[in-house]
Structure 1
Amino acid sequence: MSESVFVVLCEIVGTSHQVTIRREAEDIKEMVRRRVTPNNEIIRMMSGSMREGFRLEGSDVDWMYWPNNYRVIMDMSQSDYYNTANTTFILSDSTESPPGFTLLKLLTPPTNRDLRSACVRMNNRVYISSSIHRGLTCSTVFPNSTVHGPCGSGVLGGLLEYDIAFCFVCDFWPPSASSWIDRCHSWPASKVVGDIVRNGCHFVAIGHSLGPHEHEEWRISFSQAEYKLVYSMNHCQFLTYGLLKLFLKEVLNQQSEETNKLLCSYHMKTTIFWAIQQNMLPHWCPQNLLAGFWVCFKLLLRWVCEGICPNFFIPQNNLFLTKVHGSAQNRLFLQLHELYKKGLACLLQSSSIRSYIIDVLYNPRLSICTDKSIMRSEVDYDKELITELGCVNITGVDLCYITKAIHTIEQYVESPKSLYQVVTLWYLTAVIFQQTAFLLQNMYTNKRANKQMYIADKKSCHMLRLAAKFGCISDMLYIAMYYYKTLRYREALSAIEMTKVKLAQPYLMYNRHVDRERYTEAVGGQSWSTKIRQAVAWDIALGTRICYISELIPEQQSALQKGKARTLIIPVFVMLYFLEFLCYRHIDTTLSQAALDDLQVLVHHDRGLYISDIYRDISWEILGICQQMAGNLHAALYSYQQSLISESSFSDIQSATQGRIQDMVQLTPHQYQ
């Protein structure tokens, strides 16, 4: 009977193949990011459910950021492993803190302004205050973030919730978690344990509310260890974890307002970790999926009854200590117990799987297929990887950075990799070549060294052509941008026309939209390089520290000043008509107006097919720029206003928009009287 639920969870959570694609694509992106990040820059790591391989509807995205030149050590001898000249050391002092928490004592003078401001003195020693640090860094990435636990939280474009934690990294396993190593007899495998221990832990900015130094303490974070543990689950265990998350969201948190904040997804994760390690179910397989869920539910019920949820790595850290106690604990237990008395019928309250549970309960002998017979078409897996690749963001700021990135990719090319990691490396290579081409061009602009400029131009053109071979259809537009920037308008229009023809193909895969039959007929069974070059398009990503075309400099500067991740994303069809308009202005005004008309129709009438909601602000902005250049000031003003009032402000270009409106009104005030 569990097999039916197994199948539907594969539909909701993903097959093992889909989950592997998500994980391996993100892993290779992170490895490259870490290798190329300069010592004095910030490292970023995806964590939480997205990193674990979930893509559940309504899930948020979690990121951890930490300074690359800061290291937490557990004792002074560990500093010998580092270059002391360029490393700031922080000592973990947990002697007065509850299990799982610590004070961070600063050993060397900080170079970071926020860190200096977060320092407090206690007992003639300098410590980093978690509460001050959290307040100072909360809005570093996205300006309107609010403090939520150790994170800065908010919603991007009114659609995507995020949690961003600024933390510190430690390359050593904390002594307080040493018992976890001794506990790992059956799960996870010794190779996984070794990998987890070698990679240490993090410290996030939140103290224990019952500890003696709540505002100064930091919590030990095992986020990196946790996603590696989830990776080591078999797919049935992973789906059970997914079912627990759905049960929390759709059943447990719907019981009453009094208790809907007491349990969280971290409690579900902790439950299944303990259930697997303590071998509470001998065989985790599709036939036993509901049995696995029930084992975890009973364990959770027992914990709530006792008021103790032991942290998986440091069991002395009771995760229920500050919330699940007293009358709240009693109410929660009674609600869980009522669900327990219903047995598996309690899952009928889950909107996602209710209909399948009904089939199971009334047809216990129902014969259902298992994992190996769950059908996914080639298109499904292609869409999965294409979606993951569309999130690639390796933004170089100088040629040294770019050179390091290329060398890093060369090293990975020579090591064993899966197909998905190979394809990810192709795309990273294309991104790096594009950035290098424009960096070279910017270096030699307005210089009199004609020979050097000629050589740089040849190299740039060559790299952009290579990028188009590694990349997808839309990468041709970077060639068009380069030709436009270097005043070769006819060559740019030639690249635009080639791109336009390919984008018009009925089998195009873009923004997860695709005609499955035509796609399969056109490129089914062909190599990934062929599929990407012939049938795939992504939006255009412009690093905000690199000048691609001068008309967008204010928008790039606006996004950069807001502290946003250093990329401005533009829908590919918007960029196509934008470039066509710009080039034809120098050749044929009639065709320029035709391109503007096409852009106007697209921006005014598209309903999410070619312009995602989160990119409507930049799309209106570009339409306004074109209308202003064409002399239609009233239309331009309307477009700029639409950009400002877009439900999404994802691009963070408001200051550029306001500046354009102000300049337009000041230069031609009579037009608006």
Structure 2
Amino acid sequence: MSHSKTDSLNFYKYLCQKIGSRAIVKGRRLIYISRDLGSSDTFTPHIASGSKGEGLDLKGSDFDVMIISPLYVVYKSDKDVVQDWRTVLLMDTEDSPPCFTQLQLYTNVNNLPNFLKQQLQQHRGKHLLSSELYKSHMIEQMQAFYSGFKLNIHGPCLSDINDKMDFAICLKCDQWVSQAQPWISRPRLIWPSPELISKITLCGTLFVPIGNKGSVNENLQWRISFSVAEKILIYSFSHTQLLCYALLKILLKEIVNEEGDLKGLLCSYFLKTLMFWISEANETSVWRPDNIIPCFMGCLKRLLYCKEYSTLLHYFIPDNNLFYLRFNNKQRNTLINFLKQSCQKGIMFFSSSLTLHDYRRIPCKTTRSVCAKNLFTGSIKGYLSSSINRYNLVLVFTLLNHCKSELSRCIFKLAFALPHVYNPNNKQRYKFYKHNLSQLLVGVQSDAESGWMYLVSFFYGHNNYLSSIDIINYTLSKYTDESCLSKFSLKQTDTQKLISLIPSPYVVLRKGNSVIPMELKSPQPFDLFIAVSAIPFAHFLRFLCCYHLHDFRTSRYCISKLSETVIEYNHSREQKPIAILYNFLLLGIALQMLGETYLARKYFRMAAQYDQYCVTSATFRLRQFS
């Protein structure tokens, strides 16, 4: 079936409207890049992957995140090891098929906390990190800290119950693994370039917790992941290449998987691998807008060829045939027949897809309103409003300040219009002081997330101790009045007004938040977030203010009130374990500041007993006394 250049150009313009123009894709990527970079200086850096991370926003696409565990580091051999506080693992590929490895413990097992020891399994005299036990521990840990957030194990990932988000909590090796070494120098035409290859190898590799299906030691194996390398390669695609890749994904999700006999036979990773092989074998000049239909049909025919010969080699480690024993004869023949029919119909078989069903029925003139409003404003603004304020907006500004397109400026305006925490210098300091103060005052009006205590902590961080004390005294007086409500007969309206002045039960502060008191900040890898009861936090803040005002008599009174409240809350059934933990931690810090080391050690020890997974600084602070 022949197609003219005009047909291809019209189809290309149509796809830009439906899937996204070059500018739209660039905008999506900038948002996710800023998100990834914003996490790079946190305890758990992560990488957006899947379609969204690649710049596509297709129907039914979930959100995939690669979260890098900070507790482990992987090396190729013991000669490369550089010891630090992390648990060191070594690759052991002796009993593993291509693309998989076992991870042997290098750190002395006796130096590990119990929760790490529980993830190990002995095999042939070695301590190996079990991928199965690791996933079980991760899901147990996340659900312990986020009650009500239900997760399921989905392959190497943890998925929410609606399968909208996949979290792969992976391990990292900063080296390029030996199994993929031949990829660097194998013969190729133009793509990828030597510069791109060099950039990729410097990124190292990841390991995800899943073994080779059917292997004897499947529960001990980890799959070598090249997600970062694959993302870099896709970012190097021309827009025509990216659209062909998107067409393959639409074919899979909206057509193939809708056929009962075909559902689940193919996956997106196969299509990505196929695109890499095709791109490596062709001149880059082939991928032109006026040649997009022949390009896509070539991809479809290559998929059919791979299916007929049951061969699709892993792009980085070709010793692994992704199609080996993947299908039985019936499945193979059904899929081959379907692909043959698709090749005969050409691009018109997309008429049965949700995304591209109206091709030929709408004009192929790409308008600014379609791209900017429908594709960008809808998807990107939705993402910004839910996520971007959690990360460092300075990174967004840095990225977008060097991109002069109108789209980039639009992204920046959308991001900047959202509430955020910003820590500038010099001329901007006063401006953002007023901005942050106004945001906190809004929080006080609704008392969202203990707005009163956020405001106090904000003033304390700016050395405004007297204002902090005034607000604390006022807030605590209202709390005392509220506790006596049952003794008085108040009108319902009066009760509601009074309750609006009472702090919410908990204050939650994320690591890096500018309102966290300096005394609560701890070195990595501790205290990703602080969840403390509001009233003990109020007493603690009042102690800090009095301490810095050198009013030590009142400081000791504040500690006595804090101690009474913490002990009372410890016996309350309504208090969450994580809040009790941080209540003890606050009391220990205050006592340590006044030189009461014996009592401080006591409360740090009590906090450490609640800290089952060693995610807070309780154990670290306790060790400082030894």
TM-score normalised by length of structure 2: 0.63
Instruction: State the 1:242 CA deviation.
Output: 0.8
- From 401, 418, 433, the counterpart of 2:403: 418
Instruction: State the 1:248 CA deviation.
Output: 0.9
- After superposition, the Cα gap between the structure-2 partners of 1:475 and 1:27, relative to the gap in structure 1 and judged at 3 Å, is farther
Report the AA paired with residue 75 of structure 1.
S
Instruction: State the 1:57 CA deviation.
Output: 2.2
Question: Is 1:147 the equivalent of 2:153?
Answer: yes
2:66 and 2:454 mapped to 1: Cα distance?
42
- From 20, 26, 29, the counterpart of 1:20: 26
Question: Is 1:340 the equivalent of 2:343?
Answer: yes
User: Does structure 2 retain, via aligned residues, the 8 Å contact 1:2–1:287?
Assistant: yes
Which whole-Å deviations, capped at 9, do the CAs of 1:536-555 have from their partners, x for residues lacking one? xxxxxxxxxxxx99643359
* Mapping of residues 317-466 of structure 1, within 5 Å: 317-356=320-359, 376-377=371-372, 381=376, 386-392=381-387, 409=394, 413=398, 417-418=402-403, 420=408, 423=412, 427=416, 431-433=420-422, 463-466=432-435
* Mapping of residues 521-600 of structure 1, within 5 Å: 551-554=503-506
User: Does structure 1 retain, via aligned residues, the 8 Å contact 2:385–2:418?
Assistant: no
- After superposition, the Cα gap between the structure-2 partners of 1:478 and 1:463, relative to the gap in structure 1 and judged at 3 Å, is farther
Give the aligned partner of residue 274 of structure 1: 277
Instruction: State the 1:477 CA deviation.
Output: 2.9
Question: Is 1:90 the equivalent of 2:94?
Answer: no
Stretches of structure 1 lacking an aligned partner (at least 5 in a row):
360-366, 397-404, 437-458, 490-547, 558-564, 569-673
1:488 and 1:281 mapped to 2: Cα distance?
57
- After superposition, the Cα gap between the structure-2 partners of 1:167 and 1:131, relative to the gap in structure 1 and judged at 3 Å, is same
- After superposition, the Cα gap between the structure-2 partners of 1:550 and 1:187, relative to the gap in structure 1 and judged at 3 Å, is farther
User: Does structure 1 retain, via aligned residues, the 8 Å contact 2:59–2:355?
Assistant: no
Question: Is 1:6 the equivalent of 2:19?
Answer: no
User: Does structure 2 retain, via aligned residues, the 8 Å contact 1:347–1:354?
Assistant: yes
Instruction: State the 1:46 CA deviation.
Output: 1.6
SS at match of 1:392: helix
More displaced, 1-10 or 267-276? 1-10
User: Does structure 2 retain, via aligned residues, the 8 Å contact 1:64–1:165?
Assistant: yes
Give the aligned partner of residue 245 of structure 1: 249
Give the aligned partner of residue 299 of structure 2: 296
1:251 and 1:141 mapped to 2: Cα distance?
36
Give the aligned partner of residue 124 of structure 1: 125
Aligned residues: 447
SS at match of 2:94: coil
Which whole-Å deviations, capped at 9, do the CAs of 1:137-175 have from their partners, x for residues lacking one? 2354464211111111224xx5x7111111101111111
2:453 and 2:95 mapped to 1: Cα distance?
64
- After superposition, the Cα gap between the structure-2 partners of 1:100 and 1:285, relative to the gap in structure 1 and judged at 3 Å, is same
- After superposition, the Cα gap between the structure-2 partners of 1:346 and 1:171, relative to the gap in structure 1 and judged at 3 Å, is same
Report the AA paired with residue 15 of structure 2.
L
Instruction: State the 1:264 CA deviation.
Output: 1.0
2:24 and 2:68 mapped to 1: Cα distance?
30
User: Does structure 2 retain, via aligned residues, the 8 Å contact 1:254–1:260?
Assistant: yes
User: Does structure 2 retain, via aligned residues, the 8 Å contact 1:29–1:424?
Assistant: no
Report the AA paired with residue 417 of structure 1.
H
Give the aligned partner of residue 534 of structure 1: none
- After superposition, the Cα gap between the structure-2 partners of 1:292 and 1:122, relative to the gap in structure 1 and judged at 3 Å, is same
SS at match of 2:217: coil
2:530 and 2:329 mapped to 1: Cα distance?
49
2:334 and 2:189 mapped to 1: Cα distance?
37
Give the aligned partner of residue 496 of structure 2: none
More displaced, 121-130 or 410-419? 410-419
User: Does structure 2 retain, via aligned residues, the 8 Å contact 1:30–1:45?
Assistant: yes
1:247 and 1:118 mapped to 2: Cα distance?
40
Report the AA paired with residue 442 of structure 2.
L
SS at match of 1:136: helix
- From 482, 485, 498, the counterpart of 2:452: 485
Give the aligned partner of residue 509 of structure 1: none
Question: Is 1:229 the equivalent of 2:233?
Answer: yes
- After superposition, the Cα gap between the structure-2 partners of 1:486 and 1:28, relative to the gap in structure 1 and judged at 3 Å, is closer
Stretches of structure 2 lacking an aligned partner (at least 5 in a row):
1-6, 144-148, 457-499, 510-527, 532-626
Give the aligned partner of residue 47 of structure 1: 49
- After superposition, the Cα gap between the structure-2 partners of 1:350 and 1:280, relative to the gap in structure 1 and judged at 3 Å, is farther
1:118 and 1:355 mapped to 2: Cα distance?
52
- Superposed CA RMSD: 4.0
Instruction: State the 1:418 CA deviation.
Output: 2.8
Calculate percent identity across the aligned residue pairs: 26
Greater CA radius of gyration, 1 or 2? 2
Instruction: State the 1:368 CA deviation.
Output: 5.1
SS at match of 1:355: coil
More displaced, 91-100 or 420-429? 420-429
Report the AA paired with residue 305 of structure 2.
R
Instruction: State the 1:104 CA deviation.
Output: 0.6
1:134 and 1:103 mapped to 2: Cα distance?
15
SS at match of 1:356: coil
User: Does structure 1 retain, via aligned residues, the 8 Å contact 2:207–2:225?
Assistant: yes
User: Does structure 2 retain, via aligned residues, the 8 Å contact 1:18–1:384?
Assistant: no
Instruction: State the 1:21 CA deviation.
Output: 1.1
TM-score normalised by length of structure 1: 0.59
1:57 and 1:214 mapped to 2: Cα distance?
34
Instruction: State the 1:348 CA deviation.
Output: 3.2
User: Does structure 2 retain, via aligned residues, the 8 Å contact 1:70–1:88?
Assistant: yes
Report the AA paired with residue 12 of structure 1.
K
- After superposition, the Cα gap between the structure-2 partners of 1:465 and 1:2, relative to the gap in structure 1 and judged at 3 Å, is same
Instruction: State the 1:5 CA deviation.
Output: 2.4
Which whole-Å deviations, capped at 9, do the CAs of 1:271-297 have from their partners, x for residues lacking one? 111111111785112221121111111
SS at match of 2:95: coil
- From 167, 171, 189, the counterpart of 1:168: 171
Which whole-Å deviations, capped at 9, do the CAs of 1:167-216 have from their partners, x for residues lacking one? 10111111111222224541123322222110111100111114342111
User: Does structure 2 retain, via aligned residues, the 8 Å contact 1:275–1:281?
Assistant: no
Instruction: State the 1:343 CA deviation.
Output: 3.7
